[in-house]
Homo-oligomer: A and B are copies of this chain.
Amino acid sequence: MQKPSIPKGTRDFGPEQMSKRLFIFDTIRQTFRRYGFQPLETPAMENLSVLMGKYGEEGDQLLFKILNSGDFAGGLTETDWQSGAKKLTQKISEKGLRYDLTVPFARYVVMNRHALPMPFKRYQMQPVWRADRPQKGRYREFYQCDADVVGTDSLLCEAEIVLMVHEVLRNLGIQDFTLKINNRKILAGIAEAIGMPGQEGALAVAIDKLDKIGQEKVIDELRERGFSDESLSRLQPIFGFSGEAAEMLQSLKGWLSSSETAQTGIAELEEVWQLVSQYGLVDSQLELDVTLARGLSYYTGAIFEVKANGVQIGSISGGGRYDNLTGAFGQPGLSGVGISFGVDRIYDVMEELNLFPAGSQQSTQVLIVHFDTDARAVGLPLLSRLRQEGVMAEAYPDITKLKKQLDYANQKNIPYVVLIGSEEVQTGQLSVKNMVTGEQQKQTVEELIARFSQL
């Protein structure tokens, strides 16, 4: 018999990993809720008509497609068979797996627009699937945790995202991080100012690689993309900005004085900074980075990217403002802004920095060990009472050797074991063993309950 396996790029999450992941999910969810975001879940399967064309040509190929049910091959002709995978897919598949949470969100908003409060603030924490080539840190199934507001262009929403990022990461214990912000309008203004108006897309794609390939290669790439030497020399200042945000914004105003778009972007960033300060954010880790571009995305205003410092792991969160979330579904003009947390990378950061609190992995707190049915008759009501007090407790189900039962406690990382044998049944004094220190003491049922209900 073949040994069973799971599809490449997918993962099982066993108890230890799950406990840690649930800690991350719960922390993010609590913050989202505290900021007034409401939960949404959409189906894993979407109609391909909803998904196709939303993620570029590469995205279309990376969608997992679901074979139609029943006799999917029945009505097909030889021509269909020979038309190639792409055309054939249209005949035998109508549904695909969710590729991100943004397109399903946009679809949901369009389908329910009359029933939703506007602005609409939703969070969504669900897996997505991409037929990418699996590699270290890249999976075919992974969770996204998104919060978006649509139906307003108030910059208060950007400020709230800044606050939420700080709150989520600090609650997770990730104290040292950098939240970079930029504005797509500044990038557009730079393209204008260097004489390449409308080329901010190409500019963004190249500049996005600055961290990885360095300044020279970015310049090379832009030259290949048709940026003249003069444009590139006028671009130089972009690589030199640093320091306090307020000073940088002043310098930008001067450099980009010819571009109205850039001035709007700069003013927006100034307002975000002002709002964040009004909120009273302590030890802000917000930084302006005029080279932050976030690729060929649909962002039109603020863009965000978050990295944990001290680890070699990519961005753990990102987002931005978009002007036309639902345009592809026939409802133009809905502006919104969102942030997405990457649970897998956050997990890796927390593992590497040893940030998971001890309690997050612990499940059962007390194991009751009994040696015969008389002892079990004493143990079971104790077990019920412990659970009534909210203690996570269990009894080893079989009557067996002590060693086996203690091994079980150790394997499950259970800190306390209550031992009940014939002596304990007679005296009413049960033995409690601390599995960490090895310490053992005798206590009555009432003492035990009082003690463990405070765990």
Interface string of A1-35 (1 = CB under 8 A from B): 11111110011111100110110000000000111
Of A87-95, A194-202, A212-220, A304-312, which binds chain B? Answer: A87-95
A398 B36 Cβ-Cβ under 8 A: no
A393 interface residue per 8 A CB criterion: yes
Interface string of A377-404 (1 = CB under 8 A from B): 1001101100100111111011000000
B95 A84 Cβ-Cβ under 8 A: no
B12 A157 Cβ-Cβ under 8 A: no
B67 A65 Cβ-Cβ under 8 A: yes
B-contacting residues, A43-90, CB 8 Å:
43-47, 49-50, 61-62, 64-67, 69-74, 76, 78, 81, 84-85, 88-89
B12 A108 Cβ-Cβ under 8 A: yes
User: Which of B66, B121, B330 touches A65 (beta carbons < 8 Å)?
Assistant: B66
B131 A69 Cβ-Cβ under 8 A: yes
Q: Determine the distance from Cα of A80 to Cα of B391 in the docked complex, in whole angstroms.
A: 59
A296 interface residue per 8 A CB criterion: no
Q: Determine the distance from Cα of A234 to Cα of B6 in the docked complex, in whole angstroms.
A: 50
A99 interface residue per 8 A CB criterion: no
A363 interface residue per 8 A CB criterion: yes
Q: Determine the distance from Cα of A246 to Cα of B424 in the docked complex, in whole angstroms.
A: 31
A441 interface residue per 8 A CB criterion: no
B-contacting residues, A386-438, CB 8 Å:
387, 390-395, 397-398, 408, 411-412
* Minimum CB–CB distance for A394 against chain B, Å: 3
Known: A34-B387, A71-B85, A398-B152. A280 touches B4 (CB 8 A): no
Q: Determine the distance from Cα of A165 to Cα of B298 in the docked complex, in whole angstroms.
A: 49
A342 interface residue per 8 A CB criterion: no
B4 A107 Cβ-Cβ under 8 A: yes
Q: Report copies per complex.
A: 2
* Minimum CB–CB distance for A135 against chain B, Å: 15
B64 A4 Cβ-Cβ under 8 A: no
**A329 — which chain B residues lie within 8 A by C-beta?**
1, 3-4
B65 A39 Cβ-Cβ under 8 A: no
Indicate the member of A21, A115, A412 with the most B CB atoms within 10 Å: A412
User: Which of B44, B118, B152, B279 touches A127 (beta carbons < 8 Å)?
Assistant: B44
Q: Determine the distance from Cα of A419 to Cα of B222 in the docked complex, in whole angstroms.
A: 52
Known: A3-B330, A397-B154. A33 touches B363 (CB 8 A): yes
B43 A11 Cβ-Cβ under 8 A: yes
User: Which of B39, B129, B392 touches A45 (beta carbons < 8 Å)?
Assistant: B129
User: Which of B36, B62, B408 touches A394 (beta carbons < 8 Å)?
Assistant: B36
B67 A7 Cβ-Cβ under 8 A: no
Q: Determine the distance from Cα of A391 to Cα of B380 in the docked complex, in whole angstroms.
A: 40
A163 interface residue per 8 A CB criterion: yes
**A70 — which chain B residues lie within 8 A by C-beta?**
61, 85
Q: Closest 6 A-B residue pairs measured CB to CB?
A: A36-B394, A15-B38, A10-B43, A154-B397, A18-B39, A117-B411
Residues of A within 8 A of B (CB): 1-7, 10-15, 18-19, 21-22, 33-47, 49-50, 61-62, 64-67, 69-74, 76, 78, 81, 84-85, 88-89, 92-95, 97, 107-108, 110-112, 115, 117-119, 121-122, 127, 129, 131, 140-141, 149, 152, 154, 156-157, 163, 167, 275, 278-281, 329-330, 363-364, 376-377, 380-381, 383-384, 387, 390-395, 397-398, 408, 411-412
> What are 8 A-B contacts with C-beta separation under 8 Å?
A4-B49, A18-B39, A21-B41, A44-B129, A71-B85, A78-B78, A157-B397, A167-B387
